[in-house]
Amino acid sequence: MEILKLLSKRLRSIISDHMGQYSNVFKENLMAGSKTVVLDYLFGEGDDINAYQLVRFAESEPWNVLCNGYLLGRLSKANGAWVEVNNGSLREERILSIGKFIDSQHFNLLPDKIKAHWEDSVQEVIMNNDSSYMVVCRAGIEFDRFRLMFCSFIPELVKEEWAVTFKVYNAAFSDDFEIEVL
């Protein structure tokens, strides 16, 4: 049994490395400053592991599901459930698994947490990618005071295992600060 676990782990590593080759080619073609998010996703176990790339070009667009550079389908969350757009070829089990994986990345949770915590101070939170967010404050707040509050409390809201950078602007975009949370 241990041998199977080791082989499975090694196979996942090989697939991930192989998928990374496609990922790098794809990412090189992205425009600087785009809101594109690319996730690498493995599905299955043992000899039946498939490597996918999940690509979303903008927050309002569906996720594109790619395997070896081929588009297999597009997923969107509607009424709290993940569904395939345009009747693609993905099985229900795969749609649910991919949706659960996307949800686990907290793409929509952190902006909502920030807006809820500083409801009177924050107008908008925009995710650039999973490690970079833009925060726009409301007009009329004391920006220097908000900076102190934000910098002291934002580490409590961030639960990621990687560094996350926040670029924070006042309402007029005439003043800003940046903080990285580890």
Q: Both 36 and 122 in a single domain?
A: no
φ/ψ of 97, rounded to 5, equals -65, -45
Contacting residues for 179 by C-beta, under 8 A, at least 6 apart: 150, 151, 154, 165, 166, 168
Domain with 156 in it: 109-181
Q: Both 98 and 135 in a single domain?
A: no
- Overall domain count for the chain: 2
Q: Both 6 and 95 in a single domain?
A: yes
Q: What is the mean pLDDT of each run of 10 residues along the chain (182 residues)?
A: 47 45 39 68 80 85 90 87 85 90 76 92 87 94 97 89 91 97 90
Q: Both 113 and 95 in a single domain?
A: no
Q: What is the DSSP letter of 128?
A: E
| Gyration radius of the chain's alpha carbons | 19
Distance CA 90, CA 84 (A): 8
Q: Both 58 and 90 in a single domain?
A: yes
pTM tops 0.75, yes or no: no
Residue 64 CA to its chain's centroid (Å): 13
Q: Both 22 and 39 in a single domain?
A: yes
Which residue's structure tokens are 């500083």? 118
Q: Both 90 and 151 in a single domain?
A: no
Q: Both 99 and 121 in a single domain?
A: no
pLDDT of the residue at 108:
60
Q: Both 96 and 52 in a single domain?
A: yes
Among candidate residues 50, 70, 104, the one where a domain is terminated: 104
Q: Both 8 and 98 in a single domain?
A: yes
Q: Both 149 and 168 in a single domain?
A: yes
Q: Are strands 132-137 and 164-169 parallel, antiparallel or unpaired?
A: parallel
Q: Both 176 and 132 in a single domain?
A: yes
Are the CB atoms for 45 and 8 separated by under 8 Å?
Answer: yes
Which residue's structure tokens are 């459930």? 81
